[in-house]
Structure 1
Amino acid sequence: MSLRDALRIPAREITDEAVYRDRRRLVAGLVAAPALALSGCADAEPPPAPAAVRVDPARMRSGFTTAETRTTYQDITHYNNFYEFGTGKADPSKAARTLRTTPWTVAVGGECAKPGRIALDDLIRGPTPEERVYRLRCVEGWSMVIPWLGVPLASVLKRFEPTSKAKFVAFTTLADRKQMPGLGYPALDWPYREGLRMDEAMHPLTLLATGIYGKPLLQQNGAPLRLVVPWKYGFKSIKSIVRIDFVEKRPFTSWNDYASNEYGFFSNVNPAVDHPRWSQKTERRIAGTTTRLFADRIATRPFNGYGDQVASLYAGMDLRKWF
């Protein structure tokens, strides 16, 4: 299945965007996340991952969508953080047009039995593309509701047969000064890098996205392939991925290295732990507009509202480590 085929949804299954944003699905609501304990030293190394706790499949599937108003395609594609194309929110939608997204290959290596460089079409071959309507919460205090199209990350990673030494998964973004003018500024240590613990990477909510609103990702949104981890702050969802590595030790991640006191490795959404320079208790939702005007502030939920699906991954951890 080619990337084009993976993104092709039968016309009968595509809802007009205006209708799409206004409809309300009768789905099981997310229940409140458990209370979050705050104790211990925030700088200590995290304990080993707790034993997996089985989450009821129906409860897990309830996290795949939300009845909240979708952010418009216009706003999703014109209000972006992608520093490789500038630090302003409108910069990527203009500057990212220089990014060539085809052909595209991804190198997979590290602690796995079947490493190699693979074309994107082959990387996502197999699993049926799924629509996932997820909340996206930026660490800056704004949020969106985005209908992604993609494949579960776990279904892709399993094909490379990670070994027992693979405790984390590291991701790397393309870094090409000819295509990415923002690399000329030392905003971060390029290339942009991110990482997940293995159980986070294999979690059913974690998605490799190839589209939005049934359309292929635009460059400013991380084309042609980006990560989506909906219970973490948005900077964890790395864009324009060119490398995936299975590693034994916690990998380097760009924002955590840049300012570890402000951006933690885990970076799970936690309204009880403020960023050192602003509160995380509330957020401004970009939704239902065509002018990118923020709605009134709304309360931020633990794990971005996905605690029912993911809180068990962090049982016993000091939740201040998120920052």
Structure 2
Amino acid sequence: MLIKRPPLAGVTENDVTPKHLYLNRRKIMAAGGALALTGLTSACSAQEPAGTPAAPRVSNGSLDFSETAYRVTDGDLTPYDAVTGYNNFYEFGTGKDDPARYADAMTTDPWSVQVDGHAERTGTFSVEDLVDFNALEERIYRLRCVEAWSMVIPWIGVPLSSVLERFRPTSDARYVAFETYLNRSEMRGTRFPVLDWPYKEGLRMDEAMHPLTLMAVGLYGEVLPNQNGAPMRLVVPWKYGFKSIKSISRISFVSEQPPTSWKQSAPREYGFYSNVNPNRSHPRWSQASERIIGAGPFARRDTEMFNGYDEVASLYAGMDLEENY
């Protein structure tokens, strides 16, 4: 297993997320949207031996890690250039390099998110209203894509549960639905009917509230680049990457299973749950192994059930996971 995680039972949140990061978003945005990687690359380099302790500091005080080690056991972090240069974000084009080429056209500050549905508190909120920027954590999660490739990324964010709890969802909220920002003048890919825009995703409420589910606002010590889903995106590590919706502009608490873009587009290929399951092949290719991006053209690994995150298996007890794909 590439990502080593302590079991959830009987541990604290500090055990689940071994690093804590304090990130002043306004200071970063005023500085041009990114922190310099000076002082960080020694801890996050894809070439560093696994498990090396690190306590990087940045002189402007915006970044501060506690003295803990990355929990990587038999693999390296994906190089930063690969993480930010090889993306699926069809709003900017279907090529893997299209998002990095064109996503700068998207305006991400200011940003507003509409929250509606079965919750006591609804309305329009800023990113700062939703995310506690004094409680950011860094988590190393694998992003596994349905095209049979994967990356290992140090994400920065907060548990999604801490975001959703602010709105006090009612008992009628059985699912949570998300929509991606849509602006055809800024997002050249939406001028073509590749999907039914805006992009839509959803989770069952217990999936959304699971401690592993992250609302990310950064990676590799930086604010999220536009091509990676700025200013806020989901990271659901046991599901295929398209479930980790980017550039979220709407959150809805709903009682019925919400429509999702890829299930609407190709229901035979993409189900609502979209858990990583090597036992159910995609109709057009095998899911048994995956290519490791940034590790050479022939680097592959076997695909693990739930992407190796066995902690979530209990969410699907009694379900046929080939039928509920």
Scaled by the length of structure 1, what TM-score is found? 0.82
8 Å CA contact retained: 2:213, 2:236: yes
Tell me which amino acid in the other structure corresponds to 1:306: Y
* 1:318–1:181 distance in 2 versus 1, CA, 3 Å: same
- State which of 156, 165, 188 in structure 1 corresponds to 2:172: 165
Deviation string for 1:85-122 (max 9, x for gaps)?
00000111001110111000111110000011111112
C-alpha contact (below 8 Å) 1:268/1:322 kept by paired residues: no
Matched residue, 2:293:
286
Match of residue 141 from structure 1: 148
Which of the residues 296, 300, 303 maps onto 2:303? 300
Q: Kindly provide the amino acid, as one letter, of the partner of residue 299 in structure 1.
A: D
Q: Which amino acid aligns with 1:3?
A: R
User: Number of residue pairs matched?
Assistant: 282
Q: Distance in 2 between matches of 1:226 and 1:298?
A: 26
Distance 1:6 1:203 in 2: 29
Corresponding position of 2:58: none
Gaps of 5+ in 1: 28-63
For residue 266 of structure 1, report the CA deviation from its aligned partner.
0.2
> Does structure 2 conserve the Cα–Cα contact (< 8 Å) formed by 1:226 and 1:237?
yes
The one-letter amino acid paired with 1:175 is L
SS at match of 2:171: coil
Amino acid across the alignment from 1:213: Y
Counterpart of 2:79 in structure 1 is 72
Out of 101, 105, 109, the residue aligned to residue 98 of structure 1 is 105
In 2, distance between residues paired with 1:18 and 1:132?
12
Bigger relative contact order (CA 8 A; separation at least 6): 1
Structure in which a larger fraction of residues adopt helix: 1
Equivalent residues of 2:37, 2:221 under 8 A apart: no
Instruction: Indicate the residue corresponding to 2:126 in structure 1.
Output: 119
> After superposition, where does 1:251-290 map in structure 2 within 5 Å?
251-288=258-295
Specify whether residues 20 and 300 from structure 1 end up closer, same or farther in structure 2 by C-alpha distance, changes over 3 A only. closer
- CA–CA distance in structure 2, aligned partners of residues 100 and 143 of structure 1: 28
Q: Which amino acid aligns with 1:268?
A: N
- What does the per-residue CA deviation read over 1:156-194, in whole Å, with 9 as the maximum and x for residues that have no partner? 100100000000000000111011010111000000000
Q: Give the TM-score normalised by structure 2.
A: 0.81
Q: Show structure 2 runs of 5+ residues with no match.
A: 1-22, 54-69
SS of 2:323 mapped into structure 1: helix
* Alignment pair present for 1:222 and 2:229: yes
Map 1:1-323 → 2, pairs under 5 A: 3-4=25-26, 14-16=40-42, 19=45, 21-25=47-51, 65-67=71-73, 68-125=75-132, 128-288=135-295, 293-307=296-310, 309-323=311-325
What SS does structure 2 have at the residue aligned with 1:92?
Answer: helix
- 1:190–1:11: structure 2 CA closer, same or farther, 3 Å change rule? closer
What SS does structure 2 have at the residue aligned with 1:208? Answer: strand
Q: Specify whether residues 121 and 2 from structure 1 end up closer, same or farther in structure 2 by C-alpha distance, changes over 3 A only.
A: farther
- % identity of equivalent residues: 55
* Native 8 Å contact 1:208 1:227 kept in 2: yes
Task: Give the conservation status (yes or no) of the 8 Å contact 2:239–2:274.
Answer: yes
Report the residue type matching 1:177 in the other structure.
R
Quote the Cα distance in structure 1 between the aligned partners of 2:259 and 2:282.
20
1: CA distance between counterparts of 2:45 and 2:190?
39
Q: Distance in 2 between matches of 1:135 and 1:287?
A: 13
- What secondary structure is seen at the aligned counterpart in 1 of 2:322? helix
User: Distance between the aligned counterparts of 1:145 and 1:16, measured in 2?
Assistant: 16
